Structures are given as structure tokens and as C-alpha cells.
């Protein structure tokens, strides 16, 4: 029997979840809207808002999971990678909570947790599988051999896929985070209206910085001829950009699947909430005979449910850390 309380505070969402014997019974996410005023996450503000959100989020999670503090067997927390000031709030809280209740602490790598989110609901992938993890800070193709035996076989050399969405959104004067808004507009646009060149990277790595610059030049050129170009073509621009990013991601995924002879394919991270990627992957799966695994929306973007399930797997192995643990902005995979 185990009840794990999990804390996620790596970026701008404060999240607390409860995992009761391997089942997620609460997943509270407190979003920070303040960053919308600045076009990106301001680390100092994020850290301060985590401090305000964390205690109410813990209380809400305990209530919705119908457990008390005394029922908790261990506290899992995101150690990294992420914003140091944000991580510090979650790590400090987890340490004090564990110390006060005299229960063990479990350290979780945020990028592992995005992948392990696939073990929350059925159907669960079979090992080995390939996971494309696409978030605001990372773009990785991971060969997942076991719960904590994972190998990065491809990753971005510059910007992450989420950044490509967010930076394009900024060019289009859409507020932060722009990914979900591009997705929304794309649903009313023509994905083939405009064409953007696919970066030519030979192996399983990605590059999005040149892609982003090509969009910038394209928009500047169009605006010289028609100052209202963006307003008049917003849906088509969003649909075309989204289509191109999804093509780039899917082509590498196809290459990885072929190279490793694996047809169990998963996606994870914030960008896996993208409708173009979800639909595209389903289509590719039908064509190539893949079994695809796409997390429920609440487990795509940052959430403590994924930290709780990763924590549960570590709890089963009694893999605990001491009170001397500290957050890591960069953390080895």
C-alpha cells in the first residue's frame, strides 16, 4: 500500500498530485497567468507565484484525493531540469513536508516523468518503445528500454519544438504561450497555403532556429506588399506553420522507428497536446502499422500526475534521497 504526494514546480505551473497504489487520484494544476503580460516566463515572478500557490494546491490535492497528510507514504518532487528559483520552491516544500511527517523523499527527473506519464492510464506502452518528447524547453527522441533505462537518440541542436510554436506566435502578435493559440487558429486554416523549408539535418537530431528565421523573413516580405497580411491570413499561416513543424517531427520519428525496428511509438510533453501532431501521428500509425500512445491532455503539459507515477515506480524500488538533495537547473538524463 502506498500513497505518494508529488510536487511539480519546474517552470510556471504549480502542480500537486496524489498517486494511491499506482492510480492518480488528484492532479491539481495552478497556472500562472501573470507571464502573459511579458510574452514569456519571468523566472523571478514564477518563483514568487509558486510560493503563493503551493500550500493551497497541496490542500486541494489532499481534499480531492480524499486522503489526509497522515496517509502519505512518501513525497516525490521534480529535482530538474527547469528554472532554479521555481524548482527551489517545490524541492524545499517537499523536503520540509517529508521531514515533518518523517517519510521518505523521492527525486524525479522532469523529462523522465513526461515519458512515464504513459503509465498513468491504459493502454500502456510495452518496452522497448520510442518516445518523442516535445516541450517548451526540449525536443528529444528517446529509446525507452525500461522505466528508468532511457537513451536519448536524437535531440534539438538549438530551439525546442515548443519554442518554435511560441516564437512564431510572438511574430504573429499572439500572447504567450502561443502554441495552443496557433493550434486553435490552425483548425480553421489551410495547412498547404504557405510552404516553409524543412531543416536538413542528417541524423535523428532537430534544428528549429533556421525554420523560425525563415518564417520571420516570409512575414516581413509579405507585410511589405500587404501591411494587413497577418490579420487577413492568420488561420492559414498558423495551419501552415503547424503542418510544417508536425512534418519535421514525424519524419524524424519515422526514421527512428525504422532505425531501431520498433513500432511502439509514444509522444509526450506540452506539444503532444497539439491537435495536428495527434491527428498526424494517428494517420502515420495506420499507414505504417504503429501502435501509438498519446497521453490525455492533462498529462501532456506540465503536471504533477507524471511526477507521482514516476515517484510510485521509484517507491516500489525504495529508491529514496536524503534531506541534502538540491534542485538542478540542468540535470543529466
Query: Which range touches ligand KG4 (CB under 6 A), out of 22-30, 47-55, 267-275, 310-318?
Result: 267-275
When binding is defined by CB under 6 A, the residue of 35, 113, 302, 305 that contacts ligand KG4 is 302
Give which of 241, 248, 282 is closest to 141, Cα–Cα.
Answer: 248
Pairwise CA distance, residues 140 & 81, whole Å:
14
**β-strands 74-80, 139-146: how paired?**
unpaired
Q: Which residue reads 534531506 in cell numbers?
A: 323
When binding is defined by CB under 6 A, the residue of 27, 53, 135, 244 that contacts ligand KG4 is 135
Residues near 218 by beta carbon (within 8 Å), at least 6 away in sequence: 194, 196
* Site for ligand KG4 contains 177 (CB under 6 A): yes
Contact of 308 with 6, CB cutoff 8 Å: yes
Residues near 3 by beta carbon (within 8 Å), at least 6 away in sequence: 18, 19, 20, 21, 65, 67, 71, 72, 73
| 138 known member of a binding site | no
Grid cell for residue 263: 513500432
Query: Which range touches ligand KG4 (CB under 6 A), out of 29-37, 270-278, 282-290, 308-316?
Result: 270-278
| 92 known member of a binding site | no
**β-strands 264-268, 291-293: how paired?**
parallel
Residue number of the CB closest to ligand KG4 reads 270
**β-strands 264-268, 13-20: how paired?**
unpaired
Contact of 111 with 98, CB cutoff 8 Å: no
Contact of 257 with 130, CB cutoff 8 Å: yes
Q: Between 165 and 206, whose beta carbon lies closer to ligand KG4?
A: 165
* Site for ligand KG4 contains 7 (CB under 6 A): no
Q: Between 135 and 284, whose beta carbon lies closer to Zn ion?
A: 135
Strands (E), 74-232: 74-80, 105-109, 129-134, 139-146, 149-155
* Site for ligand KG4 contains 139 (CB under 6 A): no
Q: Between 108 and 219, whose beta carbon lies closer to Zn ion?
A: 108
* Site for ligand KG4 contains 327 (CB under 6 A): no
Pairwise CA distance, residues 13 & 29, whole Å:
7
| 183 known member of a binding site | yes
* Site for ligand KG4 contains 295 (CB under 6 A): no
When binding is defined by CB under 6 A, the residue of 128, 175, 180, 210 that contacts ligand KG4 is 180
* Site for ligand KG4 contains 273 (CB under 6 A): yes
When binding is defined by CB under 6 A, the residue of 140, 205, 301, 313 that contacts ligand KG4 is 301
Give 195: exposed, middle or buried? Use CB within 10 Å, 0-12, 13-18, 19+: exposed
The site partner of 162 among Zn ion, ligand KG4, none (C-beta below 5 to 8 Å per kind) is: ligand KG4
Query: Which range touches ligand KG4 (CB under 6 A), out of 16-24, 56-64, 129-137, 254-262?
Result: 129-137
Q: Give me the least distance between CB of 159 and ligand KG4, in Å please.
A: 10
Grid cell for residue 148: 528508468
Residues placed in the known binding site for substrate: 133-137, 166, 179, 183, 274
Residues that bind ligand KG4 (CB under 6 A): 11, 135-137, 162, 165-166, 177-180, 183, 269-271, 273-274, 301-302
Residues placed in the known binding site: 110, 114, 133-137, 166, 179, 183, 274, 302
Amino acid at each position: 500500500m502506498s500513497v505518494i504526494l508529488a510536487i511539480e514546480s519546474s517552470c510556471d505551473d504549480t502542480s500537486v498530485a496524489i498517486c494511491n497504489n499506482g492510480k492518480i487520484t488528484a492532479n491539481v494544476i495552478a497556472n500562472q497567468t501573470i507571464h502573459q503580460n511579458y510574452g514569456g516566463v519571468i523566472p523571478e515572478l514564477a518563483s514568487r507565484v509558486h510560493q503563493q500557490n503551493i500550500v493551497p494546491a497541496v490542500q486541494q490535492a489532499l481534499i480531492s484525493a480524499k486522503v489526509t497528510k497522515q496517509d502519505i507514504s512518501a513525497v516525490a518532487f521534480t529535482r530538474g531540469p527547469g528554472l532554479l528559483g521555481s524548482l527551489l520552491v517545490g524541492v524545499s516544500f517537499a523536503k520540509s513536508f517529508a521531514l515533518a511527517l518523517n517519510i521518505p523523499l523521492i527525486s524525479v527527473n522532469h523529462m523522465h516523468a513526461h515519458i512515464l506519464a504513459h503509465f498513468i492510464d491504459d493502454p500502456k506502452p510495452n518496452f522497448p518503445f520510442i518516445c518523442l518528447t516535445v516541450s517548451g524547453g526540449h525536443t528529444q527522441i528517446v529509446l525507452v528500454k525500461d522505466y528508468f533505462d532511457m537513451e536519448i537518440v536524437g535531440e534539438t541542436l538549438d530551439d525546442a519544438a515548443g519554442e518554435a510554436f511560441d516564437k512564431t506566435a510572438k511574430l504573429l502578435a499572439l500572447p504567450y504561450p502561443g502554441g495552443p493559440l496557433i493550434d486553435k487558429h490552425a483548425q480553421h486554416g489551410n495547412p498547404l497555403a504557405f510552404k516553409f523549408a524543412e531543416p536538413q539535418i542528417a541524423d535523428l537530431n532537430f534544428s528549429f532556429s533556421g525554420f523560425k528565421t525563415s518564417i520571420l523573413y516570409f512575414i516581413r516580405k509579405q507585410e511589405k506588399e500587404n501591411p494587413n497580411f497577418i490579420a487577413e491570413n492568420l488561420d492559414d499561416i498558423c495551419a501552415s506553420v503547424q503542418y510544417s513543424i508536425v512534418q519535421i517531427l514525424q519524419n524524424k520519428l519515422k526514421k527512428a522507428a525504422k532505425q531501431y525496428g520498433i513500432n511502439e511509438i509514444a509522444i509526450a510533453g506540452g506539444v503532444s497536446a497539439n491537435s495536428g501532431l495527434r491527428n498526424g501521428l494517428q494517420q502515420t500509425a495506420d499507414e505504417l502499422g504503429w501502435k501509438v500512445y498519446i497521453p490525455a491532455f492533462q498529462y501532456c503539459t506540465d503536471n504533477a500526475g507524471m511526477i507521482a507515477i514516476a515517484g510510485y515506480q521509484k517507491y516500489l524500488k525504495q529508491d529514496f534521497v536524503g534531506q541534502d538533495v538540491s534542485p538542478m537547473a540542468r540535470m543529466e538524463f
